[in-house]
């Protein structure tokens, strides 16, 4: 599976749980940290958890496990690190506060339809 395919699976898993404002940033263009950030918002702590769980479940079905994960306890910002792709799922307050899109403003946005 390519990194682009994996990113599309992540996008679809977030969309299936009604994640909002899903953004894909091509971090690889500006940093060696990873290739993509996928950033999304859940409207409640319960939804943040449901989105994160669905991403994990869908990738586990494909034999892909996160290298690490953070934030399941607070459910206000869950980070799933898949090496080449990092998934950030925020509640509304923390999405605005941390504003990763502004922090990584030099990273181009990726249209999900251009992913394999």
3 pLDDT band (50/70/90 cuts)? very high
Q: What domains sit in the chain, N to C, each tagged with a CATH number? A: 3-111 (3.30.460.10)
In order of 14, 27, 61, 74, 109, the CA distances from 24 in angstroms are 12, 9, 22, 24, 6
- What is the per-residue pLDDT for 73? 87
Q: How confident is the model at residue 72 (pLDDT cuts 50, 70, 90)?
A: confident
Read off the tokens for 63: 């034999």
Q: What is the pLDDT of residue 116?
A: 67
pTM above threshold 0.85: yes
Task: Quick: pLDDT tens for 31-56.
Answer: 999 999 999 999 999 999 999 999 99
């Amino acid at each position: 599976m390519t990194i682009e395919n994996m990113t599309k699976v992540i996008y679809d898993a977030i969309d299936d749980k009604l994640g909002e404002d899903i953004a894909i940033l091509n971090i690889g263009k500006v940093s060696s940290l990873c290739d993509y950030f996928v950033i999304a918002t859940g409207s409640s702590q319960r939804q943040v958890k449901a989105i994160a769980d669905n991403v994990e479940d869908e990738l586990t079905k494909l034999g892909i496990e996160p290298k690490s994960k953070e934030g399941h306890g607070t459910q206000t910002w869950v980070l799933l690190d898949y090496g080449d792709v990092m998934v950030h799922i925020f509640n509304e307050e923390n999405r605005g506060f941390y504003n990763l899109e502004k922090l990584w403003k030099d990273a181009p946005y990726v249209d999900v339809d251009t992913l394999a």
